[in-house]
Structure 1
């Protein structure tokens, strides 16, 4: 009987399992698919502080940023996880946010001042020092040195592997191809899960099911309003040499992240990868779980990327894919024990920030499971902050 069952083997579930095992708990991770088979596998790997306004999500992002750097520096001396990137292509590349007009630049620099995080205002004439191939005509920008990048599928796999191999005082077991169908209870308390492969008794259950977190919550009889928000990513052919030095995006991306619109929104986000291809995003729209490839959306993303880096016009897009961000109405994740169902913990609803916020979420959940002070006010993320019935 494990201490904890974690439902979901994406990067958030992997982080919860890793930190729980490190705390000394015995953990079983279950997923109906493969590791990183859902939203994590369709992500860009953003580890951002630049796109968050002052408040609880920024506090969570700053904690997570530090933890990602610790994880990258904590790889073993040899083997597949060795190297300065932690085995998951951690790149402390920094992020450059650019503004098209003076008015947008004023708003952008105003936000930077309110955030209270390390950043550098970049005048129009200095943008080329950061990105020599950036298009001309931008009014200026802000550079955030703490923005970073990981390869999300590698990150999820490495965290599960590390949790399984490193901690003799806590164990981690992974079971894929296992669908959770319900919860076991003793009185009102959750004591495990029922699955397609039998019951698993446990001291606690963590709902880290990402976009499907609302469905898992519903099995326990509670409402957590998580909805899918579709996004597309373009991948170019490998570039012969470095064209883009940092993560680069327009100020419109910050607005799109905070938007409540169900309709299509796109904003240019462009970055290189260690293996050569360039990743191009980002689009947002609420269309349920429709995976239909939208050529007009892909065309818009490609056009916006070329407007940002004209040299990209010389390269081909070799593939495109979509994923579903787990969207919550107030744009904050759901983190903590559910007071309506003791023994059930939630770690979901991160929207497009799940990869960046995964270590902090896992760290906080593990401390709660171990009966320790989380060290961060979790009230803004409480699971019962939404009406029990849908409005």
Structure 2
């Protein structure tokens, strides 16, 4: 069958792209070897947070979070969208200085935030341990339940004519489309590879590496119990941990869920491709959490799980045309920001594909930055 565009992968990025292209009137087919909103989307925390450690990341995440806020009223209740805001926690004066620098960077991008001292922090989040220096509150950040949000985007795309083929893998890219594992062939002038960690299976030289992570969710607290957290709580050392080199890292990242449960993250490790939970890392995750939220020790763990983040060497996603192969486009390598940046990624790729004005600078995300090296390899 013939389409205008074929999207490989129905995670939240692929579903957002399908929605954007279908809205533009293109005939779209999305192929997903598993289920819509599975894999990394189902394993993720679902934070919608503006990150500023890199100017390009700031532009993409700020734009995307604004798009999520605009979409919030349309999302179904199952998506659990909540404008919790984020509190970046400073343990000492040095980290509080970093919070002030962070505020300046956010302000330059038009993002509102406020510095809070130790007493104000304790008033906002009474369950945090005593003696913290303060932090930075970013009220515009939010959280969402990613599988439900992806399913909504898929339904909206389907209502505009997009077709979803699930339960079958793409075996190979052809010169004019894709070959499926069941023998079928789909044709389109544009094939968008948006399948995260699996992208190198189809575009072998794409520099994406799996990075494993662990998450844990608690049971619900007793009825009438005060919430353990009101905001999304992240330590200011999180970005250093997230963008660290090889090896293991653990950083404090907590989300209050609408049920009263606490979602606790996060760990990062390379070179472990098994999906099994590592008890040693879960223990470190809990220790880190209790260091900031002592009452976390009173809750019971309901479930722990793992997922894989698709990581690029410079920690920026690949969004745009892949020069070595005509008609192939990439939308992958988002590491831990796939949910946050899904809508921005979709708008940027759709604008490139359709020759429309770009919502922000595409150059930092251009896959061509790796094409010469990849072609040589």
Q: TM > 0.5 between the two? A: yes
Q: Is the 8 A contact 1:12 1:347 kept in 2?
A: yes
The equivalent residue for 2:58 is 58
Question: 197-206 or 352-361, which moves further after superposition?
Answer: 197-206
Task: Give how far 1:89 is off.
Answer: 1.2
Question: 287-296 or 32-41, which moves further after superposition?
Answer: 287-296
**Aligned mates of 1:131, 1:88 — CA distance in 2:** 25
Q: Deviations over 1:130-150 (max 9, x none)?
A: 112111111111111121111
**Aligned mates of 1:300, 1:384 — CA distance in 2:** 39
The equivalent residue for 2:322 is 338
SS of equivalent to 1:280? strand
The equivalent residue for 2:308 is 324
Matched, 1:163 2:153: no
Which TM-score applies when normalising by structure 1?
0.90
Matched, 1:122 2:116: yes
The equivalent residue for 2:251 is 267
The equivalent residue for 1:214 is 200
Task: Give how far 1:277 is off.
Answer: 1.8
Task: Give how far 1:54 is off.
Answer: 4.6
Q: Is the 8 A contact 2:11 2:40 kept in 1?
A: yes
**Aligned mates of 2:7, 2:105 — CA distance in 1:** 36
Matched, 1:135 2:129: yes
**Aligned mates of 1:111, 1:224 — CA distance in 2:** 32
Q: Is the 8 A contact 1:256 1:267 kept in 2?
A: yes
**Aligned mates of 1:7, 1:335 — CA distance in 2:** 14
**Aligned mates of 2:376, 2:255 — CA distance in 1:** 39
**Aligned mates of 2:83, 2:201 — CA distance in 1:** 35
Gaps of 5+ in 2: none
Matched, 1:97 2:88: yes
The equivalent residue for 1:153 is 147
Task: Give how far 1:363 is off.
Answer: 1.4
**Aligned mates of 2:54, 2:103 — CA distance in 1:** 9
Q: Is the 8 A contact 2:89 2:235 kept in 1?
A: yes
The equivalent residue for 2:218 is 236
Task: Give how far 1:126 is off.
Answer: 0.8
For the structure 1 residues 230 and 172, does the alpha-carbon distance in structure 2 shift closer, same or farther, using more than 3 Å as the test?
same
**Aligned mates of 1:74, 1:154 — CA distance in 2:** 13
**Aligned mates of 1:114, 1:54 — CA distance in 2:** 10
For the structure 1 residues 314 and 288, does the alpha-carbon distance in structure 2 shift closer, same or farther, using more than 3 Å as the test?
closer
**Aligned mates of 1:37, 1:163 — CA distance in 2:** 17
For the structure 1 residues 57 and 390, does the alpha-carbon distance in structure 2 shift closer, same or farther, using more than 3 Å as the test?
farther
Q: Is the 8 A contact 1:88 1:150 kept in 2?
A: yes
**Aligned mates of 1:3, 1:296 — CA distance in 2:** 48
Q: Is the 8 A contact 1:227 1:288 kept in 2?
A: no
**Aligned mates of 2:239, 2:130 — CA distance in 1:** 21
The equivalent residue for 1:2 is 3
Task: Give how far 1:359 is off.
Answer: 0.5
The equivalent residue for 1:182 is 172
**Aligned mates of 1:65, 1:24 — CA distance in 2:** 25
**Aligned mates of 1:308, 1:203 — CA distance in 2:** 52
Task: Give how far 1:279 is off.
Answer: 0.4
Gaps of 5+ in 1: 76-80, 186-190
SS of equivalent to 2:234? strand
Task: Give how far 1:374 is off.
Answer: 2.0
> What is the root-mean-square deviation of aligned Cα atoms in Å?
1.5
The equivalent residue for 2:69 is 69
1:226 pairs, out of 208, 214, 225, with: 208
Residue-pair matches, total: 367
**Aligned mates of 1:267, 1:372 — CA distance in 2:** 40
SS of equivalent to 1:9? coil
**Aligned mates of 2:139, 2:70 — CA distance in 1:** 16
